[in-house]
Amino acid sequence: MTKQIHLWAFLQGIGFYPTAWKHERARPAGVFSMDYYASVAKLVEKGCFDAIVFGDQLQSRGAGGRTPERMAMPTLDPVTLLTAMGAVTRHVGLVATISTTFNTPEMLAERFATMERMTGGRAGWNIVTSVHPDTAGNFGLDEMPPKGERYTNAADVVAKACELWAQMDRAGPALPQGRPVLVQAGQSPQGRDFAARTAEAIFCPAATIEAGVEFRNDLRSRIAAVGRNPDGTRVMPGLSCVLGGTEDEARANHKAIMDLADPALAIEYLSESLCCDMTGFDPEAPLDHEHVIANTLLPAADVARAVTPAGEAGTPLREFAMNFMLNPRGHNVFIGTPEQMADMMITWRDEGACDGFTLQPSYMPGGLEDFVEGVIPILQQRGRYRTEYPGSTLRETLGLSPRVEDAA
């Protein structure tokens, strides 16, 4: 019995790389137009993906007094985009990220219930607690609630939202899936425990097959430990790619994307990612990891893990920033031919590193087109990927129970 591969398309913004918007096949202004979202939604559906996923950030652009001029805008509101994409498609699932820290259960239950009805049962909720410290100011707070508190609150918000959906479902019109599919993205032990109790699908980074196996096994044992069935949860690590007809061509394509970034841009992006302004530092001087750790607005321990080894080795800031750009978010990045990529995906699936992948095209829409035209037909020929949708709701597509009868 060959294991089927699930696929999600993570389409927030204009691609995986911060320079992606400058690529000759990128359409950066598209993210402000319905035409763009309609065409990529139809392409994803043609590729039979389970779902489109949008992340979300609630901090303002330009918060903290610096507005990077050379980086594409992350997003319009994900629920809005996904509902509009749902209006022009029939099958593809729609997973929207919404924070439990900055929404009441009433607010988000109402939004998702409407989305769920209007899209005929294709809604999913990527449950996040928001990390970026500058988010607090947009909701009248001076600082973020501590992580433990955010996760405790998240459990309450999810429980209350499920209750509200059960009520709405009974009152009608029915919610086609009973409630949206619950998705989680988070990595720490707290995040994993929360996922184990709640999630029907998980979006996570796994840079290597070993990391994927470790994560999935760990999650499955945590799920079993809380008395749920591990087969009721799909683990969907991120996957970015740059393809080419030959390996050399793929490498050249990748180099062309990297060449769109100069060191100053890389440092600007690093500053954004680590929440510490390093744009005024000498690019040739060693990365000042102590300064970064002392001044980052993110949890210092997480940032320390990312910068300490390079800082202690005396790596120049420029070099660290350029390397950071090669793999900014800890996901698996594949460079090669479509055949090789299909082989890799099948191996990961067979080795238990994942149930499928969350594709993060390197630039948009070209990177998505290359994958849909190049890789999907190969997976289909090998019998590892669907050629049509099994039903109409996201639960059916994911192979989960078709409806949650009493969500509460």
Partner 1 sequence: MNKPFIVSASIADPLLAVPETGKAILDAAEATGLDLLVVGRAGARPFDAQVVLAWAAPMSARIGLVATVPASNAHPFHVARALSAVDFLSAGRTGWSVIPEGAEQGMAEDMVGAARALWDGWGSDTLIIDKASGRYLDASKVKASNYEGPFFKVAGPVNAMRPQVGQPVLVVDAAAAIAIEDADIALVDDAGEATGATKRLLKVDASADMAAIAARFEAGEIDGVHFTLSDAMAELPAIATLCADLREAHPAGPGNLRESLGLPLPATASNQPDGARVPEIA
Q: Binding to ligand FMN by residue 191, rule CB under 6 A?
A: yes
- Shortest Å distance, C-beta 221 to ligand FMN: 17
Q: Binding to partner 1 by residue 258, rule CB under 8 A?
A: no
Q: Binding to partner 1 by residue 407, rule CB under 8 A?
A: no
CB nearer to partner 1: pick between 69 and 405: 69
**Closest CA relative to residue 376, chosen from 365, 387, 392:** 387
Q: Angle at CA 349, nearest 5°, toward 346 and 354?
A: 140
Q: Binding to ligand FMN by residue 240, rule CB under 6 A?
A: no
Q: Binding to ligand FMN by residue 99, rule CB under 6 A?
A: yes
- Shortest Å distance, C-beta 393 to partner 1: 13
Q: Binding to partner 1 by residue 33, rule CB under 8 A?
A: yes
Q: Which stretch binds partner 1 (CB under 8 A): 102-110, 151-159, 316-324, 350-358?
A: 102-110
CB nearer to partner 1: pick between 121 and 212: 121
Tell the residue number behind the tokens 């409630």, with chain if given: 179
Residue in 203, 324, 363, 385 binding ligand FMN, rule: CB under 6 A: 203
Q: Binding to ligand FMN by residue 332, rule CB under 6 A?
A: no
As a dihedral over the C-alpha atoms of residue 33, residue 35, residue 37, residue 43, rounded to 10 degrees, the angle is -160
Residue 322 touches which of partner 1, ligand FMN, none (Cβ within 5-8 Å per kind): none
Residue 21 touches which of ligand FMN, partner 1, none (Cβ within 5-8 Å per kind): partner 1
- Both tokens assigned to 396: 């059916």
- Shortest Å distance, C-beta 195 to partner 1: 25
Can you name the residues that pair with 6 across neighbouring β-strands?
A: 356
Q: Binding to partner 1 by residue 101, rule CB under 8 A?
A: no
Q: Binding to partner 1 by residue 71, rule CB under 8 A?
A: yes
Residue in 4, 39, 42, 114 binding partner 1, rule: CB under 8 A: 114
Q: Binding to ligand FMN by residue 130, rule CB under 6 A?
A: yes
Q: At what angle do helices 147-171 and 105-118 cross, to 10 degrees?
A: 50
- Both tokens assigned to 66: 């610096």
Q: Which stretch binds partner 1 (CB under 8 A): 16-24, 179-187, 289-297, 304-312?
A: 16-24
- Shortest Å distance, C-beta 96 to ligand FMN: 10
Rounded distance between C-alpha atoms, residue 284 and residue 278, angstroms: 12
How many residues lie near partner 1 (CB under 8 A)? 62
Residue in 39, 153, 187, 315 binding ligand FMN, rule: CB under 6 A: 187
Residue 191 touches which of partner 1, ligand FMN, none (Cβ within 5-8 Å per kind): ligand FMN
Residue 294, classified by CB atoms within 10 Å of its CB into exposed (0-12), middle (13-18) or buried (19+), is: exposed
Contact residues for partner 1, defined by CB under 8 A? 21-22, 24, 26-29, 32-34, 37-38, 57-63, 66-77, 79-81, 83-84, 86-88, 102-104, 106-107, 110-111, 113-115, 117-120, 134, 137-140, 168, 171, 173, 265
Contact residues for ligand FMN, defined by CB under 6 A? 55-57, 97, 99, 128-131, 185-188, 190-191, 203-205, 238
